[in-house]
Amino acid sequence: MQIMQFMGAGIDNYLYRLQGATGQILENLMQDIGIGTDIEEIRRFENFRDRAVAAFLEKNFTREEREYCLSKDAPAPHLAARFAGKEAIIKAISSLNIPRIFYPDIEILNNERGVPCVRINTEHCEKLCIKLSLSHSSGMALAFCIIIREV
């Protein structure tokens, strides 16, 4: 029994030290990870032919993004998801203390497998690995973003 208690104390001490080292590594790593999320109502994007909404799309989406979304039978969910994606990206980037970027600087397109791929057209974001997930239901669009600053 005493041997088991001794071994337990040794294991606890080892685990405590390991946790401390791992905690420091994780703390350092977390300074280089940004997380952002956003949710949008799809109905905000349904009147895309309206002059004010069209101006909003022109101001905040790239030509390729607009072409992709407007080529769909129901463009609003795709527009809302991409806008939520841009919001999530901006939140994740700001958590990394990177100077503010603007909506037109962010381009979200799909690769050949349909996975959202992000391109940011600004000089402060060259060494960022950006992972983005987009989803929508009948009424809401959601985006979740993780950004890792490459060292």
Domain ranges of the chain: 32-149
Per-residue pLDDT tens over the stretch 38-69: 999 999 999 877 888 889 999 999 999 999 99
| Residue 65 per-residue DSSP state | H
Angle ∠(108,119,101) on CA atoms, nearest 5: 95
The pLDDT of 105-132, averaged and rounded, is: 90
Tell me if 108 sits within 8 A of 144, measured CB to CB: no
Per-residue pLDDT tens over the stretch 135-150: 999 999 999 999 998 8
Q: In this model, does residue 12 exceed pLDDT 70?
A: no
pLDDT at 93: 92
Q: Where is average pLDDT lowest: 13-27, 36-50, 68-82?
A: 13-27
Structure tokens, 56: 């909003």
One CATH from 3.40.640.10, 2.40.10.10, 3.90.470.20, 1.10.510.10 for 32-149: 3.90.470.20
